[in-house]
Structure 1
Amino acid sequence: MKIELPLDEGSVELDLSRGFYFLTSNPESGRGLTISVRDPFFPEVKTADMMGQTIRYITSRTEFEAMTNSDQPRAGIEQFWIDCAGSKEKARELIKVYYNRVREANLYFSHVVPGWKSDRGLIHIVFGNPKKVFQYPNKEVWLYGEEDNVNSLQFTFRKVASPYGEEILALSRDQAYKTDWERAVTSWRNGRIYSE
């Protein structure tokens, strides 16, 4: 929807529902005002809907669809964690760590999208904090393991232009990550908190 606003009227009041908004007087310029309206409890994960969305990284497509389309999604999510952990007590520990990582991703990596949806958020949630972060003018490298160790894992995030004026860091995807990704997801699914 396009809204014309006279600039000499003083102020404008907008009642916006949850979502992402980009206001500009010249769409071709790529410049404007970005407004992100989030849940009142953001960056916390407190609803079954958010718990279900963010668990996508470690579920199969079938599991994800069953949980999110369920009449009782929270019960399905809780059962997923119990099945992974083997007990309610262990499941509580997994839930606490996993959703704390989601909260941290929201705090540190949110921009146009919530942090958990960003590439850095994805890696942070599944792998945990890197041992070292190297920042360069056009990229950021996350190291898991020891420096100068060929068995260490590193993820490279390159700066890319965003249509909303700010640069974002996007993961340089590589088939070489597949084994490490599967190991991390399997760890979570077997009731073990993954961290390098």
Structure 2
Amino acid sequence: MKMKNILIGLFLFTINLVGQKLNETTVYVDYSRFKYNSDSVYFELYYGISNKALKVSDQINEAEIKVIISDSVDNKIVGFRNFRIVSEVPNTEESEKYLTGILGFKIGKGSYSVDFSVTDFFDSTNFYQVTFPLKIQSISTRNFALSDIQLCSNIIENSDNTQSYFYKNTYEAYPNPSNLYGEQLPILFYYIELYDLQKGGSQNNLKFITKILDSRGEEKYSKEKFIQRKYNSIVEVGAVNITKFSSGTYTLAIYLIDSLNNFGLVSSKKFFVFNPSIKEEIVLRRSDADLLSSEFNVMNEEELNLAFEQSKYIASSDEIKRWNSLNNIEAKRVFLFNFWKQRDPNPNTPENERKLEYFERVKKADEMFRGTREKGWRSDRGRVFIVYGEPSEIDRYPNEMDAYPYEIWSYNNIEGGVIFVFGDITGTGQLFLIHSTHRGEMHDENWFRRVQKSR
């Protein structure tokens, strides 16, 4: 992320919004959060101010902008800007120029309040202020990570204009703080950063999916591609033509999916379309809005079936029956989303820690216990590892004179201490569960006779 200090600029924004004073229809504020390091983010605040809302003096507009970012707990100020912007007034009455700019702040984790105010320099009674909460969390996970989406009115790729207020990472990304598109701004541009792609050592390609959904959850646009993990961090930009979209509220959702390891993230952003010439389609469809934030929303049926097969170890008999009764992909997506949602130990965090830990165990089990004919996560040892985690101790007996190979796994922190015994009862080298002291698991106190060699 290329850092800048106070960034201001002038950009001709041709959406004709009527307003003679500074208010919510003539002043727009938006923001995005990008990774700075493991403990802080780079917070970009975007603003757009209509010249029609400012008094003219000597063919110029002038306004004072003040931004205060304060800690919500102790009110300590962690970010402050106070400056003036000047713009020449267009010669034509019809032209509406937006004074558009960017402010950048490095901010640590925490909860904050952002206060943005603008005052007409030639009329101090013409004043507008907006305050909104800001939560900063570490943009880091056990795997890869995503930034917020920045919506733009234009993006210039491979730009040499490094002095531009809007230049970062070889792009000129002109923000659209209004998040409004339509007849006079028919192309939606977006910018997003992808981090830690090489984290964990995985080499498989990632699926990058861009979707646009309307207010009912109806999919209006979808595009996907695969991303190689050649670099640890990259930038993705894109453009979507929205001339055929009817007026309304939409969500741009960008998914990054690791299908092999059942891990995915989504970054989403609302935007608005004003296309009075396009009639709205009447679609009677309900959608669980939270599902849009799940990797299950973009899985195909084969991937969904695999995800449940791997999740089945902790499913109840009723849940298995309900899954087996499902006959369409949408129902399976909703089921898996709710299955893991109800197991989320901390719904207030962006990650489902239980799900992440579970599928990390699936991945390890597949690597450690894979056989010639069976996937590691399907084996008995794989199931026990996935459900109960890493054993406290493992006693291995691979070459006993009187017994075929067997292992004893001890879990000291479960039910006051339990064991699982796995033995090669077929002579094929594959170990099966033959005894456990855990309630509900196979129990056979005479288990040794099953691995004992005949004399």
Fold match by TM threshold 0.5: yes
Aligned 8 A contact 1:81 1:95 in 2: yes
Distance 1:91 1:48, change over 3 A: farther
- For residue 180 of structure 1, report the CA deviation from its aligned partner: 7.7
Aligned to 1:44: 261
Distance 1:42 1:60, change over 3 A: same
Does 1:67 find its partner at 2:323? yes
- For residue 126 of structure 1, report the CA deviation from its aligned partner: 0.5
Secondary structure of residue in 2 paired with 1:167: coil
Indicate the structure with greater helix content.
Answer: 1
**TM-score for the superposition, normalised by structure 1:** 0.59
Aligned to 1:141: 408
Q: Which moved more, 1:116-125 or 1:86-95?
A: 86-95
Aligned 8 A contact 2:366 2:375 in 1: yes
Root-mean-square deviation over aligned CA pairs: 2.9
Q: Distance in 2 between matches of 1:128 and 1:144?
A: 9
CA deviations 1:111-151 (Å, max 9, x no partner) are 121111110011001100001111102211111118xxx93
Aligned to 2:433: 171
Distance 1:153 1:122, change over 3 A: same
**Alignment of structure 1 residues 147-186 onto 2, 5 Å:** 151-161=416-426, 166-174=428-436, 176-178=437-439
Give aligned-pair identity as a percent: 24
CA deviations 1:39-65 (Å, max 9, x no partner) are xx8963462111111111111222123
Aligned to 1:125: 386
Q: What amino acid does structure 1 have at the position aligned with 2:434?
A: S
- For residue 69 of structure 1, report the CA deviation from its aligned partner: 4.2
CA deviations 1:6-45 (Å, max 9, x no partner) are xxxxxxxxxxxxxxxxxxxxxxxxxxxxxxxxxxx89634
- For residue 173 of structure 1, report the CA deviation from its aligned partner: 3.4
Q: What amino acid does structure 2 have at the position aligned with 1:110?
A: R
Q: Distance in 1 between matches of 2:348 and 2:337?
A: 9
- For residue 177 of structure 1, report the CA deviation from its aligned partner: 2.2
Aligned 8 A contact 1:82 1:88 in 2: no
Q: What amino acid does structure 2 have at the position aligned with 1:167?
A: G
Residue ranges of structure 1 left out of the alignment (5+ in a row): 1-40, 182-196
User: Highest Rg: 1 or 2?
Assistant: 2
Where do 4+ consecutive residues of structure 1 move more than 4 Å? none
Aligned to 1:81: 340
Q: Distance in 2 between matches of 1:53 and 1:45?
A: 12
Report which structure shows greater RCO (CA 8 Å, sep ≥6).
1
Distance 1:90 1:172, change over 3 A: farther
Aligned 8 A contact 2:310 2:377 in 1: yes
Aligned to 1:92: 352
Residue ranges of structure 2 left out of the alignment (5+ in a row): 1-257, 264-302, 399-404, 443-455
Q: Distance in 2 between matches of 1:154 and 1:115?
A: 20
Distance 1:140 1:42, change over 3 A: farther
Q: Distance in 1 between matches of 2:323 and 2:351?
A: 17
Aligned 8 A contact 2:344 2:355 in 1: no
2:309 to 21, 33, 53: 53
**TM-score for the superposition, normalised by structure 2:** 0.27
Distance 1:160 1:45, change over 3 A: farther
Aligned 8 A contact 1:105 1:116 in 2: yes
